[in-house]
């Protein structure tokens, strides 16, 4: 049995402006997550170019890519991906620890970040003691702790009920507006997609259309 080459993405080309909230919308299997992984430097395309801050990240070595993820990119996942044995505070601190920041300063910053996402009362809880929404807030705090240029969120509401999902997306929007960080959110929920400044519609690895948000539509 030979391997069959599948083009997950083909001819996808777009720009995201600094401070923009962009959603990537499409049904499952359309290549959304692959696109996000490529932009985050977790995966490499067979062909193409990806520029972050004017730098072609595909020319970076693995170590440089890791550094890029550490300093310029924050990830939020559908399944939160927190380390189960660490408290909320330690989870948020993790990127700072990897960066080699002093413990005390890292703790202070993590505490502040948890306050921003509204979890100051839960800092010593482990993920298993937190609700889904709370876990996602911790994950957001972790993504933002290093003050990244870009936050990549892969179905951040996909594992939450509608109300909690909406709260999370509103939190993202608030942070986007307050801190001016670029947010790229993958979703298959049309309601969530509409919150964005722009929505890229993906289908079968191709861009179907790019929709600008109409003024006043975002709530």
Partner 1 sequence: MKLSRISNVAWESMTQRKLRTSLTILSVVIGITAIIGLASLGEGFRLEMRERMQSGFELDNLTLIPGSLFAGLSRERFYDYDVKNISRVSGVKAVTPVMQVGNVTLYNEKNNKTVQAFVATAVNFTEFVEIFPDRFVFENDTQPAEYGDDTIVIGHKVNYPTENDTTPFAIANDTVTVTLQILNQTHIPPFYELNYNFTVGGTLRKTGTSGITNFDYWIFIPLKTARRIYDTEESDLIFVKVYNPEDSETVADQIEALFPLYKVTILVPLTFIKQVDSVLGTVQIFLMAIASISLLVAGVGIMNIMTVSVMERTREIGILKAIGAKSRTVLSMFLMEAALIGIIGGLIGIFAGYGLSYALAYALTGFVQPQNQNTVFQNPEAQPITINPVFSLTWTTMAFVFAVVVCIIFGLYPARKAAKLDPVKALRYE
Binding of residue 135 to partner 1 (CB under 8 A): no
- Using CB under 8 A as the binding rule, the residues of this chain from 147 to 206 that contact partner 1 are none
DSSP classification of residue 176: H
Contact 24, 32 (CB under 8 A): yes
Q: How far is the CB of 140 from partner 1 (least distance, A)?
A: 13
Q: Helices 88-99 & 103-116, crossing angle to 10 degrees?
A: 130
Q: Under the criterion CB under 8 A, does residue 81 sit at the interface with partner 1?
A: yes
| Coil, strand or helix at 195 | coil
Judged by CB under 8 A, does residue 77 bind partner 1?
Answer: yes
Two tokens, residue 106: 């890292």
Shortest gap between Cβ of 168 and partner 1 (angstroms)?
Answer: 19
42 binds partner 1 (CB under 8 A): yes
φ and ψ at residue 53, rounded to 5 degrees: 60, 35
Among 10, 99, 121, 210, indicate the residue that binds partner 1 (CB under 8 A).
Answer: 99
Contact 128, 91 (CB under 8 A): no
What number of H helices and E strands is found in the chain? 7, 8
The residue from 137, 142, 173, 201 that contacts partner 1 (CB under 8 A) is 142
Q: Does 70 bind partner 1 (CB under 8 A)?
A: yes
Q: For binding to partner 1 (CB under 8 A), which residues are involved?
A: 37, 40, 42-43, 62-63, 66-71, 73, 75, 77, 81-83, 85, 94-95, 97-100, 142, 146
């Amino acid at each position: 049995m030979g391997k069959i080459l599948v083009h997950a993405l083909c001819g996808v080309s777009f720009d995201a402006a600094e401070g923009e909230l962009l959603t990537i919308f499409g049904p499952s299997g359309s290549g959304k997550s692959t696109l996000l992984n490529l932009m985050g430097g977790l995966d490499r395309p067979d062909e193409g170019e990806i520029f972050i801050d004017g730098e072609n990240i595909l020319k970076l070595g693995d170590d440089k890519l890791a550094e890029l993820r550490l300093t310029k990119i924050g990830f939020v996942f559908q399944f939160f991906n927190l380390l189960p044995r660490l408290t909320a505070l330690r989870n948020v601190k993790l990127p700072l620890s990897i960066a080699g920041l002093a413990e005390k300063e890292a703790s202070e910053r993590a505490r502040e970040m948890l306050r921003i996402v509204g979890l100051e009362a839960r800092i010593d809880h482990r993920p298993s003691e937190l609700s889904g929404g709370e876990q996602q807030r911790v994950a957001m705090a972790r993504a933002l702790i290093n003050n990244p240029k870009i936050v990549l969120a892969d179905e951040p509401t996909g594992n939450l009920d509608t109300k909690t999902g909406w709260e999370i997306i509103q939190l993202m929007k608030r942070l986007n507006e307050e801190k001016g960080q670029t947010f790229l959110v993958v979703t298959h929920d049309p309601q969530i997609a509409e919150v964005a400044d722009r929505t890229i519609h993906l289908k079968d690895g191709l861009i179907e259309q790019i929709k600008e948000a109409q003024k006043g539509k975002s709530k």
